[in-house]
Amino acid sequence: MGVYTFAIGILLTLLTHSTLIAAQTRSTYISSQPLYDNPAEGSESWIYERQVIESGEQRTIYNTIEPVYEVHLPSSDNATGAAVVMLPGGAMRWLTVSADRSAQIETLLAQGITVVLLEYRTLQMTPEEIERRSTPPPADAPPTVFPKMEIRNGNANPSPDDPALNEVLRLATEDAHAALRLVHENAQQWQINPDRIGVIGTSAGGGVGFSALMADAPEEEKPDFLVSIFGPSLVDIQAPADDAAPLFLVTEANHGPVTDGLLAIFSIWKDAGQPVELHVYEVPNFSMTVELWGPRLFDWMREQGTLPTVR
């Protein structure tokens, strides 16, 4: 009986310990909230309504008129004080939220990084355009070949003279600034260090991130660091003389102007003596996952002082 009682005691202790660990590592999710208290300025006259198309684990969002955000907080005892505004991609015409995006969020949370996922404004698309874009390509369709283009000042915008795209980039940049301001306003409540709030953008989301970095805006509306996952700049890049935000750039070798643009940005930042790291992977386009670039990103964040060196 004594041995039995002792064994039961050990089991209860282990179960209690496991429950405590689970409670300590449980993150907090704050569901979608409007980014602005009032209707977003600049899109009041847009006529096409928001539409979400789901296919398996992927959600594609069209015609965002009113930006929203959701917050993912690490457990209080795992929080490092670092935070990112996450900007999905979609050629400035839609936003894609996939299983890979969820994996990115979970991996960032495990590192104690708060994630604010932003649904920013994109170009209005007609129902016919959405239907055409949503039709999957034939199984035997050849891979996309990106045309060569001249990169000037790190700007890889494929349509620099398109007024509609320029306007939606301006609005998306305002949304990114508002999201960064929101994180600053809630820094104490969300256990965030206001000096360690950055942006992570994928594809066009990286372009919005660069635009937010380059724009003339208050400090609380600009990222302290920028992570671009095959996200080219859509505006001209100029490195500040001092105190430039560190850049972490990731792309594939055959991503055409995206790769060329990020190579140019690396040179601009490096020539100015500013902190920048670039990784070019010989992998198929759009195949990179957080398992590939994440470990080095977190080491880099520790080296930059964004994450603590000892976890």
Going by pLDDT thresholds of 50, 70 and 90, the confidence category of residue 114 is: very high
DSSP-based three-state secondary structure for 290? helix
Better-scored residue on pLDDT, 99 or 1: 99
Better-scored residue on pLDDT, 288 or 7: 288
Does residue 4 have a pLDDT over 90? no
Q: What is the pLDDT of residue 311?
A: 56
Does residue 71 have a pLDDT over 60? yes
Q: What is the pLDDT of residue 250?
A: 98
Residue closest to 61 by CA, chosen among 117, 104, 103: 117
Q: What is the pLDDT of residue 147?
A: 84
The DSSP code for 152 is B
Q: Which residues pair with 233 in a beta bridge?
A: 155
Better-scored residue on pLDDT, 47 or 12: 47
Going by pLDDT thresholds of 50, 70 and 90, the confidence category of residue 93 is: very high
Q: What is the pLDDT of residue 310?
A: 67
The predicted-structure confidence for 177-228, as pLDDT tens digits, reads as follows: 999 999 999 999 999 999 999 999 999 999 999 999 999 999 999 999 999 9
Q: Can you give 58-111 as a three-state secondary structure string?
A: EEEEECCCCCEEEEEECCCCCCCCCEEEEECCCCCCCEEECHHHHHHHHHHHHC
Mean of pLDDT over the chain: 91
Dist CA 110 CA 311 (whole Å): 11
Which residue segments constitute the domains of the chain, with CATH numbers given?
28-133+146-303 (3.40.50.1820)
Orientation angle between helical segments 290-303 and 99-110, nearest 10 degrees:
30
Does residue 79 have a pLDDT over 70? yes
Q: Which residues pair with 61 in a beta bridge?
A: 52, 95
Q: Are 67 and 119 in contact (CB under 8 A)?
A: yes
Which residue reads 């039995």 in tokens?
Answer: 4
**Both structure tokens of 307:** 């994450």
User: Could you tell me which residues come within 8 angstroms of residue 8 by beta carbon, excluding any fewer than 6 positions away?
Assistant: none
**Alpha-helix runs per DSSP H in 112-239:** 127-134, 163-185, 204-214
Terminal alpha carbon distance of the chain:
43
Better-scored residue on pLDDT, 1 or 304: 304
